[in-house]
């Protein structure tokens, strides 16, 4: 007998509806961009390029409308080493989040879930990679046998999302278009992970990558190829040719809406429509509507100016709230149109006390709950909102946002009201009641209580915000010094325990549902600024780092383990609610401000871009979940 959680029921309902509805309109209109290749026999006609059952559901926004083929979009990127921005924008995944954050099949035709521990994935018959080769169960088998369980390519084994109590699944190929992953216990991470912005790509184009794998190609030849390319061995050669998220190899077939045309090194990445993309509109037109995309590298400081000048046709990356007024002026000149999407992190900026700080005296203070509470109470978030963000942001603690079903006003308000008097009482109670001639508190060793908060170029406003916090903490006798350094150097310093306080983004997902993973609420990764050694201990299965020794942190890990194998949504919700309550009371992070407007600039004739939508990396892939494959350019 099958037992389904509500979200999985929604997945299955969506899939069953798709199977019961009439087939989408027959493909009638060949994209003009591909017509010549079809006439020359270089491509089969559209009806033969689409899967037998293409994905045909479309956005249900009132302002969404069917479009037409054609045009090019120019985008700017801050990187330039690879083209991952287009994998984010394209957002083609086995499963995807919709605009109302429902989980539905995308590359998959259907998924059957039994007891949350057996997942049968059904592919779309006739679906093909961008080079025309079939996308089948063999691509999953190749990944499982030749990549995930090859110690040279995956030293740590399969991805963590595929482990339950440290154990991998059993994997089966049932037929050409059906595979199954099974665990002894429920795995609630699996389906949401498949819809992630950077998912575990549990399939690979076997027909292409076999030529770089010693199970299919002579290893001596591969080692020679690696040496010629300046790489250390065949695994490095395989990795260079693979990298599905980075889009750095134009020969690597893709399932994304646009395929890469040119190889690095380059500062201008060119893309063209994928002739075999699996989605269609209501009239049977193959998506995407837009034929070409160009991704050009630009320095971060030039992106706003180049966007205002019309050099970018669709730009969100590299723009911040500070650029909104400047871009508004360009909108008046009709060089662009501007939308402001609310950033949906739990906090745009939060201060992270490092509970693994190396200095014993300071670490003891940081691990004291009342000390963290006092620092939070001293911050005047309303002043920060008015001075820095023109009153448009949401002050409060680092927690989920009002649009989340898990939201409770008390969670965002916990220890986040401006109350310096209460903060002073807490600090006095910790024995920090002596002050120097300048009014700063003295530590037990007689030294001034000075806290260095380090910034890593997370947000352009971070220094301005910290300078206001500096004045707030001065009121309670705590000296704050601001230090800025590169993000990579800062991360290393945090992990080494040298940095006691840092500023960074808050919760990545402020719109969480009970069905989404609460992993970031527990010490589960060494990139978590407030407990990197505890996170490393979890990541390494106890091999490195330190085991958490605070009962609240230990409880968070227990609750996360409960969520991972929860039999139903009620148990998941209970785990989430307790984890959020622990964070609110313990103030493990000091949230400052949230829901900052994110500028989204676009060419005025671009259609189907929502007027406003939550802006977050995961879930949603920034703009990706709003279906950029259906954006189109009006004549």
3-state SS assignment for residue 3 = coil
C-beta contacts of 485-494 below 8 A and 24+ residues apart:
485/454, 485/455, 485/456, 486/456, 486/457, 487/456, 487/457, 487/458, 489/456, 490/454, 490/455, 490/456, 491/456, 491/527, 493/454, 494/354, 494/529, 494/532
Domain 349-594 maps to which CATH number in 3.10.105.10, 3.20.19.10, 3.40.718.10, 3.40.1190.20? 3.10.105.10
CB 323 within 8 A of CB 304: yes
Answer for the pair 565, 185: CB distance below 8 angstroms, yes or no: yes
Encode pLDDT of 279-296 as tens digits: 999 999 999 999 999 999
Low-confidence ranges of the chain (pLDDT < 70): 1-28
Identify the helix (H) or strand (E) that includes residue 594: strand 590-594
Among candidate residues 441, 446, 576, 438, the one with its CA nearest the CA of residue 520: 576
Report the run of H or E that residue 260 belongs to, with start and end.
Answer: strand 258-260
Note if the bond before 600 is cis, omega within 30 degrees.
Answer: no
The predicted pLDDT at position 635 comes to 81
Q: Taking the model in full, what pTM does it have?
A: 0.92
Residue 314's pLDDT is what? Answer: 98
So where are the chain's domains?
A: 349-594
In three-state secondary structure terms, 37 is: helix
Task: Give, rounded to a whole angstrom, the gap between the first and last alpha carbons of the chain.
Answer: 54
**Rounded CA separation 202/235 (Å):** 18
pLDDT of residue 28: 60
For the record, the structure tokens of 498 come out as 């040298």
């Amino acid at each position: 007998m099958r037992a389904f959680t509500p979200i999985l029921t929604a997945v299955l309902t969506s899939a069953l509806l798709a199977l019961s509805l009439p087939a989408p309109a027959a493909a009638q209109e060949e994209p003009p961009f591909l017509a010549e290749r079809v006439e020359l026999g270089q491509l089969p006609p559209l009806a033969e390029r689409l899967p037998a059952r293409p994905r045909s559901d479309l956005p249900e926004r009132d302002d969404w409308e069917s479009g037409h083929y054609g045009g090019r979009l120019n985008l700017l990127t801050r990187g330039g080493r690879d083209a991952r921005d287009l994998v984010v924008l394209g957002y083609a995944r086995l499963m995807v989040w919709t605009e109302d954050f429902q989980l539905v099949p995308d590359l998959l035709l259907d998924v059957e879930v039994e007891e949350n521990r057996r997942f049968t994935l059904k592919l779309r018959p006739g679906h093909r990679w961008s080079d025309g080769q079939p996308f089948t169960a063999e691509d999953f088998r190749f990944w499982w046998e030749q990549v995930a369980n090859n110690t040279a390519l995956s030293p740590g084994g399969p991805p963590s999302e595929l482990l339950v109590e440290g154990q991998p699944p059993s994997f089966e190929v049932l037929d050409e278009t059906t595979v199954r992953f099974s665990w002894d216990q429920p795995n609630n991470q699996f389906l949401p992970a498949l819809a992630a912005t950077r998912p575990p790509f549990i399939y690979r184009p076997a027909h292409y990558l076999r030529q770089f794998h010693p199970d299919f190609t002579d290893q001596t030849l591969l080692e020679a190829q690696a040496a010629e390319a300046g790489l250390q061995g065949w695994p490095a050669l395989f990795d260079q040719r693979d990298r599905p998220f980075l889009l750095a190899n134009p020969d690597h077939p893709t399932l994304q809406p646009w395929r890469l045309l040119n190889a690095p090194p380059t500062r201008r990445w060119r893309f063209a429509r994928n002739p075999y993309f699996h989605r269609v509109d209501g009239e049977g037109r193959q998506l995407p509507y837009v034929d070409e995309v160009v991704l050009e590298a630009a320095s971060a400081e030039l992106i706003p100016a180049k966007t205002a000048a019309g050099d970018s046709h669709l730009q969100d990356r590299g723009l911040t709230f500070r650029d909104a007024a400047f871009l508004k002026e360009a909108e008046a000149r009709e060089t662009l149109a501007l939308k402001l999407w609310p950033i949906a992190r739990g906090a745009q900026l939060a201060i992270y006390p490092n509970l693994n700080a190396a200095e014993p005296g300071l670490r003891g203070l940081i691990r004291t709950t009342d000390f963290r509470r006092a620092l939070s109470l001293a911050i005047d978030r309303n002043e920060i909102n008015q001075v820095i963000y023109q009153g448009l942001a949401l002050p409060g603690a680092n927690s989920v946002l009002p649009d989340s079903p898990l939201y409770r006003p008390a969670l965002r308000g916990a220890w986040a009201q401006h109350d310096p008097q209460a903060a002073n009482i807490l600090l006095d109670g910790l024995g920090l009641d002596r002050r120097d001639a300048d009014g700063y508190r003295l530590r037990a060793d007689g030294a001034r209580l000075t806290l260095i908060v380090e910034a890593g170029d997370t947000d352009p406003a971070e220094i301005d915000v910290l300078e206001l916090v500096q004045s707030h903490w001065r009121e309670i006798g705590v000296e704050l010094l601001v230090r800025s350094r590169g993000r990579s150097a800062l991360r290393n310093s945090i992990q080494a325990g040298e940095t006691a306080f840092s500023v960074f983004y808050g919760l990545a997902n402020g719109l969480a549902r009970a069905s989404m993973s609460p992993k970031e609420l527990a010490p589960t990764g060494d990139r978590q600024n407030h407990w990197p050694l505890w996170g490393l201990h979890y990541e390494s299965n106890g091999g490195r780092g330190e085991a958490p020794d605070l009962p609240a942190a230990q409880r968070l890990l227990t609750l996360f383990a409960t969520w991972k194998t929860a039999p139903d949504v009620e148990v998941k919700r209970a785990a989430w609610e307790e984890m959020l309550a622990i964070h609110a009371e313990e103030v493990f992070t000091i949230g400052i401000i949230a829901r900052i407007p994110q500028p989204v600039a676009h060419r005025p004739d671009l259609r189907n871009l929502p007027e406003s939508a939550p802006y977050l990396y995961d879930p949603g892939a920034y703009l990706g979940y709003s279906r950029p494959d259906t954006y189109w350019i009006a004549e």
